[in-house]
Amino acid sequence: MFESLTQRLSGTMERLRGRGRLSESNISEAVREVRIALLEADVALPVVQGLIQRIKVRAVGQEVMRSLTPGQVLVRIVRDELALVMGSQATDLNLNVPAPAVILMAGLQGAGKTTTVAKLAKHLKERRKKKVMVVSADVYRPAAIEQLQTLAGQVGALFFPSDASQKPEAIVKAAIIEARKTFADVLIVDTAGRTSIDDAMMAEIKALHAAVNPVETLFVVDSMTGQDAAVTAKHFGEALPLTGVVLTKTDGDARGGAALSVRYITGKPIKFVGVGEKPDALDVFHPDRAAGRILD
Ligand code: GDP
């Protein structure tokens, strides 16, 4: 996506060779290139504006050492800023609480929550040797509960049944009791999502969060939704004390700006990325590699 940015910036800044300092006026053309590259990568507009501002503040007045061209200096500044936003290290799930560690999944319908519950269950079972139980608090879509049951069977997770006549909080509280009885280490809670942000959905998940006090509250977002991903992230980030993000469908995301946007807006680490539909198509997210790739 940003592959050509280094080249683009070197090109526009070539003629600045020999000048000792970057200034607002002599970098303006190159900054415009950075802006276009970020927008082309589908980074959300407010995020682009914020980043450009930070890049300008850092660049203006910067001395250009003899061994470097101004283009190289600016590329380095852009790279540093992106790395700062993305963070440096992969962040694992925090399970340091008395069992069961409750993980609450939040996000719009279709974002990939149910699929991600199964992927996480498999990950926790295989990589961290945990006994995992899953439960659905989506009382509006019986099909979603069935889907979770099927997936739980596939990945070898315990499934706590629920049905449309129950209240989400009651379902999850009962699941926690069952998880204790069966010595499950982790309970992953799938929740109802709507097709767009709505107050009732937000009120419901806030109440559920307050009732079950999860150690992880993961915002699941479809990386293909581009600018909308940023808007959704803002709403969920304001409604819930998120602890991390799962970015799904990155196998289909050619541009990748969603990662940067969602990280910038929520300030929370992207912990995993979905890379396909199958239960094993989940990767731990490495922000340093992602930031590095942006400009190389
Ligand atoms: P939910 O409504 O948020 O629970 O979303 P689902 O888990 O039902 O997923 C919606 C669709 O997205 C399903 O067809 C999934 O197979 C698909 N999906 C989820 N994650 C990924 C992913 O990482 N890559 C791809 N290609 N498809 C995904």
Pocket around ligand 1 at a 6 A CB cut-off: 107, 109-115, 193, 248-249, 251-252, 274-277, 281
**pLDDT confidence of residue 25:** 78
**pLDDT confidence of residue 108:** 95
- SS3 labels along 133-164: EEEECCCCCHHHHHHHHHHHHHHCCEEECCCC
* Per-residue pLDDT reduced to its tens digit, 213-264: 999 999 999 998 878 899 999 999 999 999 999 999 988 865 668 888 999 9
Residue nearest to atom 12 of ligand 1 (CA): 112
Q: From CA 229, how far away is CA 249, in angstroms rounded?
A: 12
Nearest to 130 by CA among 102, 109, 105, 89: 102
> What ranges make up the beta strands (E) of 126-275?
132-136, 158-160, 186-190, 216-222, 244-248, 270-274
Instruction: Tally Cβ neighbours within 10 Å of residue 120.
Output: 26
User: Token digits for 122?
Assistant: 């498999």
**pLDDT confidence of residue 272:** 96
Question: Could you tell me the distance, in angstroms and rounded to a whole number, from the CA of residue 159 to the centre of ligand 1?
Answer: 19
Contact assessment for residue 151 and residue 118, using Cβ atoms and an 8 Å cutoff: yes
Residue nearest to atom 26 of ligand 1 (CA): 276
**pLDDT confidence of residue 294:** 53
**pLDDT confidence of residue 66:** 66
Residue nearest to atom 9 of ligand 1 (CA): 112
**pLDDT confidence of residue 195:** 78
72: helix, coil or strand? Answer: helix
Kindly tell me if the per-residue pLDDT of 148 is higher than 80. yes
Burial of 131 (0-12, 13-18, 19+ CB in 10 A): middle
296: helix, coil or strand? Answer: coil
Q: Ligand 1 pocket check: which of 277, 278, 283 to mutate, most ligand atoms within 8 Å of Cβ?
A: 277
Instruction: Tally Cβ neighbours within 10 Å of residue 159.
Output: 18
* Per-residue pLDDT reduced to its tens digit, 185-208: 999 999 998 877 888 889 999 999
One-character DSSP codes across 89-130:
S--PPP--SSSSEEEEEE--TTSSHHHHHHHHHHHHHHHS--
- 273 Rama sector, left if φ>0, alpha if ψ -120 to 50, beta otherwise: beta
Helix (H) or strand (E) holding 283: strand 282-284
